[in-house]
Amino acid sequence: MTTKSNPDDWWMTTGEYAKRMKGLTMNLLYKDVMAAVPFHTEVLGAELEFANVDFASFAFDGSIWMLHADHTYDSHPLKCMLNANLERGIGAEIRLHGRDPDEACEAAQRLGCTIMEPATSKGHGTREAFILDTEGYLWVPDILI
């Protein structure tokens, strides 16, 4: 049996939330939304706007992204891919510009996350790190050098 949250406990209505969306946003699917919160707040340095077992919203430097629990996609076209038990995150690189990669690596190490490449200064003018989150999504926090 899947636990679902009570919509009356949410901090705003879904309609109010939708009106905030501009430009490009991300919605990532997670088996356990609450277990993912420390990665997004501590490693990525994002502000947690709201979280429950179904959904979490994060903000960083004007960007907003969301996590949804798998069960919230029961009638979504992606459901068949979730049932196929495919690896998540493969082929996607999610960059978070403005997050210090050294600080992100310290937090990732504390949380036991996989650091694929530690903070490194690159020839194209950024310092960046490659870190896997709890579901296998590859995050690249970076800053200009």
Q: What is the model's pLDDT at position 108?
A: 98
Confidence at residue 140, expressed as pLDDT on a 0 to 100 scale: 95
For residue 41, report the phi and psi dihedrals to the nearest 5 degrees.
-85, -45
Which pLDDT value is given to residue 1?
37
Which domain covers residue 135, as residue numbers? 7-144
The answer to whether residue 41 sits within a structural domain is yes
| Residue whose token pair is 């798998």 | 70
What percent of the chain clears pLDDT 70, i.e. is strictly above it? 85
Mean predicted confidence (pLDDT) in 26-47: 95
Q: What pLDDT is recorded for position 91?
A: 67
Angle at 97 between CA 93 and CA 98, to 5 degrees: 145
User: For position 19, what pLDDT does the model report?
Assistant: 80
d(CA 56, CA 138): 18
Q: How much is the pLDDT for 22?
A: 75
In-domain check, residue 38 = yes
In sequence order, the 6+-apart residues with CB closer than 8 A to the CB of 142 are: 95, 96, 97, 98, 99, 101, 126, 127, 128, 129
Residue 2 has pLDDT above 50, yes or no: no
Tell whether the model's pLDDT for residue 67 goes beyond 90: yes
Task: Decide if 1 is inside a domain.
Answer: no
Strands 47-51 and 55-60, how do they pair? antiparallel
In a domain, 119, yes or no: yes
Question: Per-residue pLDDT tens for 127-145?
Answer: 999 999 998 899 999 999 9
Are 70 and 29 spatial neighbours (Cβ–Cβ below 8 Å)?
Answer: yes
Which of the listed ranges 17-21, 92-96, 111-115 does the model predict with the highest average pLDDT?
111-115
Residue 83, pLDDT above cutoff 70: no
Whether 44 maps to a domain, the answer reads yes
**Tell me, what CATH number does 78's domain have?**
3.10.180.10
In a domain, 18, yes or no: yes
- Going by C-alpha positions, the residue among 44, 75, 72, 79 that lies closest to residue 58 is 44
> What domain count does the chain have?
1
Let me know if residue 80 belongs to a domain.
yes
Q: Is 99 domain-assigned?
A: yes
